[in-house]
A = this chain, B = another copy of it.
């Protein structure tokens, strides 16, 4: 990534002239202000230059210079002026839907999901490959994922998008270098640099490549693209075959001190309970994971084929619960109580105001919310003073793959100067 120093001298100014090389401090200030203006446009949509000046406290002249740079860099577009109630009409500014786009890949235990998201956050292409990945070698799964992603990329290019970054979500422990250390439900996946391998397989130029735990990316997906703008502190619970959690504090992902925190699925809910794939006993996953729940309901696991997706056992579980079948409802409620016990440990540590139920828990929410809420009320010691709301993810099964696609875009919005620097250095 280039330093701020070389960035601004390369961005054409309002009049098309090159800006003089300003001293380092001034360039840093401009870099900061460029990000400030772009974030404001991203957050508020349809602001005019005059409104931006009001929001940011910058002068109108400065805002204009910065907006012009953002437009010339392809990040912002201007719509036709709208007549205000008073005064001259302002031209509304918004993120450019034809600007840089992000590619997201989610590799999970029984599916691979891919999508392309544009700078405005809209999903432009999307593909889901169902199929149990536990029996396949990692290379095989990665190649399937790369083929699907490559196909989407070509489609995206055809519609005029410039795919610039890749994010990958996986159901396991990922270190700061993007290496998947261990996935309790994908036994052969150990020490695999997932994003690097996928990037090589794709064989096309990418400006940024990123890999993280699926629950972390789902939490970011919910933060950036979810329906509630006021979510800043929450734990996103990702119910799949494994159970994960992504913690967001103050609008930032909280990974724990060494980056491997947030492991909700392996919180003990019954010390003498069933053996878990991680080696311990009585982890949440052994009671409330997808397979445990299907087993408790007497539904087949269909080993070797997908259990989620249309026609899978999870759809069948949902049907039975909707039909009021006792065994299904009892099993889901039991899972809900276990989920409440594990979450109460998280909340006793973190004192968070919101739990977001995601993954297949979002579909089961009508039966889950009540037992979860009840356990939290009993077991979170500070519940009377700072209670916790349990809500349902607005992105459903797409949270992870959208978060994955959004990573590279969010980096551009957070530091457009670095993005321009790169673009202009390389072309």
Q: Which of B264, B283, B382 contacts A263 (CB 8 A)?
A: B382
Residue A57, interface by CB 8 Å: no
A266–B348 touching, CB < 8 Å: yes
A267–B173 touching, CB < 8 Å: no
Residue A207, interface by CB 8 Å: no
A89 CA / B380 CA spacing, docked (Å) = 60
Listed residue (A175, A250, A268) with the most chain B CB atoms within 10 angstroms of its CB: A268
Known: A266-B379, A345-B345. A260 touches B173 (CB 8 A): no
Q: Which residues of A in the span 202-258 have a Cβ within 8 Å of any Cβ on B?
A: 233, 247, 249-250, 255-258
Q: Which residues of A in the span 25-40 have a Cβ within 8 Å of any Cβ on B?
A: none
Which B residues are CB-close (under 8 A) to A384? Answer: 182
Residue A353, interface by CB 8 Å: yes
Q: Mark A257-296, 1 if CB is under 8 A from B, else 0.
A: 1111111111111110000001111010000000000000
Residue A425, interface by CB 8 Å: no
A346–B349 touching, CB < 8 Å: yes
Q: Which of B182, B233, B259, B280 contacts A378 (CB 8 A)?
A: B280
Which B residues are CB-close (under 8 A) to A267? Answer: 344-345, 348-349
B351–A259 touching, CB < 8 Å: yes
A267 CA / B268 CA spacing, docked (Å) = 10
A352–B233 touching, CB < 8 Å: no
**What residue of chain B has the Cβ atom nearest to residue A235's Cβ?**
B349
Q: Which of B260, B269, B385 contacts A175 (CB 8 A)?
A: B385
A263–B173 touching, CB < 8 Å: no
Residue A154, interface by CB 8 Å: no
B344–A268 touching, CB < 8 Å: yes
Known: A260-B382, A269-B271, A378-B280. A255 touches B351 (CB 8 A): yes
Q: Which of B258, B261, B385 contacts A349 (CB 8 A)?
A: B261
Known: A268-B344, A269-B271, A341-B271. A257 touches B349 (CB 8 A): no
Q: Which residues of A in the span 358-410 have a Cβ within 8 Å of any Cβ on B?
A: 378-382, 384-386
Known: A268-B345, A270-B271, A271-B270. A350 touches B381 (CB 8 A): no
**What residue of chain B has the Cβ atom nearest to residue A175's Cβ?**
B385
Residue A181, interface by CB 8 Å: yes
**Closest chain B CB from A169 CB (angstroms):** 18
Listed residue (A175, A259, A350) with the most chain B CB atoms within 10 angstroms of its CB: A350
**Closest chain B CB from A34 CB (angstroms):** 23
Which B residues are CB-close (under 8 A) to A138? Answer: none
A156 CA / B278 CA spacing, docked (Å) = 56
**Closest chain B CB from A246 CB (angstroms):** 12
Known: A268-B341, A271-B269. A349 touches B381 (CB 8 A): no
A350–B261 touching, CB < 8 Å: yes
Q: Which of B260, B262, B353 contacts A386 (CB 8 A)?
A: B260
Residue A184, interface by CB 8 Å: yes
A381–B266 touching, CB < 8 Å: yes
Known: A271-B270, A280-B378, A378-B280. A260 touches B349 (CB 8 A): no
A233–B260 touching, CB < 8 Å: no
Q: Which residues of A contact B (CB under 8 A)?
A: 173, 175, 181-182, 184, 233, 247, 249-250, 255-271, 278-281, 283, 337, 341-342, 344-346, 348-353, 378-382, 384-386
